[in-house]
Chain A
């Protein structure tokens, strides 16, 4: 790249300009493929290891395609009663889905009120919410653990789901979206005698579908991938979600890399599939929310 800038010749001939363009293109593609390889190789290695028998994990010669393709790593963790992976998968799915649905409900309701309704204390409350967005999450770790303990929610799904509904980002995000909608349709609904709940439910919410999809995807990923909080709250092995489950898996198979990678694949697969299907959409969601923030 810098080579392009190095020699500002007075008047380069047409031929050398074309050559330059072709060289720079080759260079750019070389770099693009190189970075892509660096990104993909560890993922490919994770999948490859998970299907290899132990004898092939540390061979002097690496085979990317297992010479003996085996499911024994998966079978051994599935048959280990101390590592109920299927249960963990179900727990993760249940928690992430509940969190996503509930966040969408409570945040769109709140975001709509802050965007469209006038009420006493609105600006004070909303500013208070915004200020907490800048507070580091680690401050809340210990006190929230005590609160969840006091509520009797340690070792329960509620202990994972309820704190996830307190986030402010979704409220802010939905409010900004509702502010960007034209008011006319909602006003027409009021003239037709609709209540505010009806107007929200039947006019504003359907228009907010793209924002709901963005918030839903981001919330689902964050919940599915959360590691530290479930590690603290869940001690009962049957109740673990997959990320803290991986820590248990690492403890159980200290150097059984095939089993570990099988667990990693099971944890990664749903989000990677989601990403492959919704790739463009997810990237653009992050771009818009990132630029707005």
Chain B
């Protein structure tokens, strides 16, 4: 390397490129790449292969190649997996449809309130974001306590207001509402700070021009704010849909996936909990891998559809 003294970077790179193999860049990327290969690239292959087997980690000797059977079971009514898989998947879609609009509109409202030059706005921003730094386990445990029908804070205040006090964690649809409210409380601040930064990036001159043209507040919101936010809204919708698909800890702590349903499977059991139960409670890891690949394919398709939808509208 000392031979390079005096030479410019460009000529040195050219010399090295021609004369000998240059190992240095590879040494720089190697440490991360090793872990990437073991825990991201390889599992992709391993997972696909595993989904073609009947596999129990406790009884590896009983491993059996079953071809596409694990997948077929998910799409054949009458199998053990069919009702519980689709129950959990439909539950998850319900949760996505309930939580994502709230996790866009509530943070947007919060961001609009804070996008003013009011004194103290940074304190409010700090408070609103705070729950996001907590573990999902803390949030789930806190939701479990606050929504207790006996002695929980929510029902205490509902009683004080003379309202009905539902059994939040054990009856429908209240169990879903409790999980959704807890989730919004936890992550609204995250979406809010991103939307707020995007709002502040919209040039004030656009609003001024619109005001001079006689646009009302609503027209300015509709024709200046929304178009200005569109790329960030797309980003937020995609990551929020993905986050909602990954719901796990809130029902794990609050409802344990229940209440139980006559058709089998819990009414608030999300797909992550079904995969967890299939793989780590029933120890059917091949089937669990097949489930996770089907759901991942759905998630990728949904993200792509979101992307296309918003891109098309932009043009």
Contacts and interface: CB of A to CB of B under 8 A. Distances in A.
Interface string A230-274: 001000000000111011011000000100110110011001101
B10 to A, nearest CB: 9
Interface string B133-150: 111111001101110101
Contacts of A14: none
A160 to B, nearest CB: 12
B253 A250 contact: yes
A29 B44 contact: no
A205 interface: no
A36 B124 contact: yes
Main secondary structure of the interface of B (DSSP, over half): helix
Interface string B88-128: 00000000000000000000001011101010011011111
Interface in B22-53: 22, 24-26, 28-29, 31-33, 35-36, 38-44, 46-47, 50
A200 B27 CA distance: 13
B4 A193 contact: yes
Interface stretch (A75-83, A208-216, A279-287): A279-287
B295 A171 contact: no
A38 B185 contact: yes
A144 to B, nearest CB: 5
Contact of A272 (B24, B26, B133, B217): B133
Contact of A42 (B26, B185, B235, B276): B185
Given A28-B116, A106-B31, A227-B137, A140 B39 contact: yes
A50 to B, nearest CB: 10
Nearest to A194: B1
B29 A109 contact: yes
Interface in B141-163: 141-142, 144-146, 148, 150-151, 153, 156
Nearest to B39: A166
Given A138-B295, A143-B47, A287 B197 contact: yes
B25 A142 contact: no
Interface string A108-131: 011011100111001001001100
A26 to B, nearest CB: 11
A70 interface: no
A250 B249 CA distance: 13
Contacts of A271: 133-135
A286 B9 contact: no
A113 B194 contact: no
Contacts of A260: 141, 144-145
B300 A136 contact: yes
A190 B289 CA distance: 50
Contact of B38 (A135, A166, A279): A166
Contact of A162 (B35, B137, B190, B196): B35
Contacts of A129: 36
A35 B128 contact: yes
Most B CB contacts (10 A, CB to CB) among A35, A129, A196, A257 go to A35
B198 A291 contact: yes
Interface of A: 1-2, 4-5, 8, 25, 28-29, 31-32, 35-36, 38-43, 45-46, 49, 57-58, 62, 105-107, 109-110, 112-114, 117-119, 122, 125, 128-129, 132, 134-147, 149, 162-163, 165-166, 168, 171, 186-187, 190-193, 195-197, 200, 221, 224-228, 232, 242-244, 246-247, 249-250, 257, 260-261, 263-264, 267-268, 271-272, 274-275, 279-280, 282-283, 286-288, 290-291, 293
Given A191-B6, A282-B133, A290-B190, 8 more contacts: A32-B113, A35-B110, A109-B31, A128-B41, A142-B289, A146-B285, A221-B133, A227-B135
